[in-house]
Amino acid sequence: MIAVVSQFFNTPSETFIRDHVRHLAPGETVLVCQEPDGSDQFGYPVLSGVPGPSPLSRLPARIANVTRLCWLAYVRDGMSRRDEDRVVEFFKAHNVEAALVEYLTMGALFAPACRRAGVRLYAHAHGADSTVMPRKHLWRHRYRRLFAGADGIITPSRFIANRLLQIGCPNEKLHVSPCGVLPERFTSSKRESGRLLFVGRFVEKKSPHLVIEAFARIASRFPGARLDLVGDGPLMARCEALVRQENLSDRIVFHGYQSTEFVQRMMQNAAIFVQHSVTARNGDMEGLPVSILEAMASALPLVATRHSGIPEAVVDGETGILVDEHDIESMAKAFASLLEEPRRAAEMGHAGRRRVLDHFTQRHTRDHLRQAMMLPAMAKPLDFAEGPVQ
C-alpha cells in the first residue's frame, strides 16, 4: 500500500498529481491532504485536514489558498504533534509502506511522520519548490534535512535534478521522471490552418503576454492566423489590455480556465502550440510543463523557449523551434516560419508524437516511479492503450 500526499487534489493545473493517484498503484493507494475537495473522486481512503488550518484559513477561498501556502512555506516548521499522530495512525491502519509526497515543501513537512511510521518517503519536486524556495536560507536548511532522511527525490527534468544537486541532494537519491501523458487522449484531427494555441496559467514564468507580443508582430503578414489562450491568472488584465492596444480583439480569444476535455479538443484543432516560459523575477521556473507533452502527443509542432526542462522534451528543429527567453522577435519569426511551411510544421508535429510515445507516456512515468519507489511488480499491470501515431 502506498500513500499519495498533496495539499490539494482538485487544482486545475495539477493534472499530474491526479495521474499519480490513478496510475501509480491502482487499488493499493490511500490519500492524505489538507483540503478534502476533489479527493473523493478516486474512491480511496482519505485523511484530510493535515496539516491543520493556519490562522489565515478564514479568508476567501482564492486568497486563502495562497496564504496557506505561505504559512506552510515560511511560518510553520513541521506539523503539530496532533497532526503527526493522525498521519502515523492512518499510515499504520492502512499498512502504508511508501509515501509519494507532492512538492518538496510538503515532503519536509511530512518527513517526521513518515519516519515514525516506518514509511519510505519519496518527495516529488516540481517547479517553484525547486527554484524559488532554495533561495531562502531557511528552506535550504529544511531541504538538506529532507534530503538526508528521504529515500528518494523525484524530479520532472534533469535540469531540476541538477539544481537540487547544487544545494546538497545526494545524486544517488535523485530520480528523473517527467510527468507523462496518455497519448490516446491527444490524437491529431483536422487542423485549422493558422490556429496558434497557448495553454497555461497567466503567471510571470509562463509569460502569455510575450506570446501575444510575438503574435502581434506577424499578424499583418498572416491575416488568417488566430491565437487562442486557455487559462487565467494575475496577468490576465495585462494581456487583455495588450490585445486591445494591438487592435487584435477579433483574432485573439481568451477562453479562461477550461476542462481537460476542452484542452484536448483545442489541441486537436490547433496548428501550432506556443509557450514562452521564462525565469520569473523571484526565480520561479518550470519543471517540464505537462502541456508541452500534451501538445506533442497531439502531433502539434511547438514554439517554445530554452527554459528549464523544455529542451529535454522538445528537439529544436525536429519537433519544434526553441528560442531564448524574452526573445520576442525570434519567437515571431518561428511563428512565421511554421505558418509559411505547413508541411514542415506537420512533420515536426508527427515527430513530436513519436517522441512522446517513446519517452513521455503514463506508462513510462508509472514504471519510473515504481522503480524509484522500490514497489513490487503489479499483480495486474495496467494496459495503457497508447494507440498508433496519427
DSSP 246-305: TT-TTTEEEEES--HHHHHHHHHH-SEEE------TT----S--HHHHHHHHTT--EEEE
The whole-angstrom separation of Cα 53 and Cα 358 is 43
* pLDDT confidence of residue 61: 45
pLDDT at position 62 over 80? no
Cβ contacts of 224 within 8 Å, gap of 6 or more: 193, 194
The larger pLDDT score, comparing residue 74 to residue 287, is at 287
Please state the pTM of the whole predicted model.
Answer: 0.90
The answer for 171, left when phi > 0, alpha when psi is -120 to 50, beta otherwise, is alpha
pLDDT digit string (tens) for 339-368? 999 999 999 999 999 999 999 999 999 999
Cβ contacts of 137 within 8 Å, gap of 6 or more: none
User: Mind listing the domains of the chain with CATH numbers?
Assistant: 2-179+361-372 (3.40.50.2000), 183-358 (3.40.50.2000)
pLDDT at position 63 over 50? no
* pLDDT confidence of residue 69: 53
Alpha helix stretches (DSSP H) within the chain: 15-23, 61-70, 81-93, 104-117, 128-131, 137-149, 158-166, 208-218, 236-245, 260-269, 290-297, 310-313, 328-340, 342-359, 362-372
pLDDT digit string (tens) for 275-288? 999 999 999 999 99
Say if strands 152-155 and 174-176 run parallel, antiparallel, or are unpaired: parallel
pLDDT at position 390 over 50? no
pLDDT at position 170 over 70? yes
The larger pLDDT score, comparing residue 169 to residue 15, is at 169
Run of H or E including 100: strand 98-102
The whole-angstrom separation of Cα 76 and Cα 73 is 7
The whole-angstrom separation of Cα 226 and Cα 248 is 9
Contact 204, 284 (CB under 8 A): yes
* C-alpha separations of 356 from 103, 178, 261, 277 in Å: 24, 11, 19, 20
* pLDDT confidence of residue 387: 39
The whole-angstrom separation of Cα 346 and Cα 338 is 9
Nearest to 314 by CA among 267, 276, 340: 276
Nearest to 105 by CA among 137, 67, 77: 77
* Range from 62-76, 162-176, 209-223 carrying the lowest mean pLDDT: 62-76
The whole-angstrom separation of Cα 296 and Cα 302 is 8
* pLDDT confidence of residue 192: 86
Q: 3-class DSSP state for residue 75?
A: helix
Q: Is the peptide bond before 311 cis (omega within 30 degrees of 0)?
A: no
Instruction: Give the CA radius of gyration of the chain.
Output: 21
Confidence category of residue 383, pLDDT binned at 50, 70, 90: low
> What letter would DSSP give residue 313?
H
* pLDDT confidence of residue 78: 77
The answer for 326, left when phi > 0, alpha when psi is -120 to 50, beta otherwise, is left
Confidence category of residue 58, pLDDT binned at 50, 70, 90: very low
Confidence category of residue 190, pLDDT binned at 50, 70, 90: confident
pLDDT digit string (tens) for 364-380? 999 999 999 999 876 55
* pLDDT confidence of residue 378: 66
pLDDT digit string (tens) for 199-257? 999 999 999 999 999 999 999 999 999 999 999 999 999 999 999 999 999 999 999 99
* Range from 59-73, 92-106, 228-242, 301-315 carrying the lowest mean pLDDT: 59-73
* pLDDT confidence of residue 388: 37
* C-alpha separations of 202 from 229, 232, 256, 267, 388 in Å: 9, 5, 10, 18, 34
Nearest to 383 by CA among 187, 177, 184: 184
Phi, psi at residue 102, to the nearest 5°? -80, 120
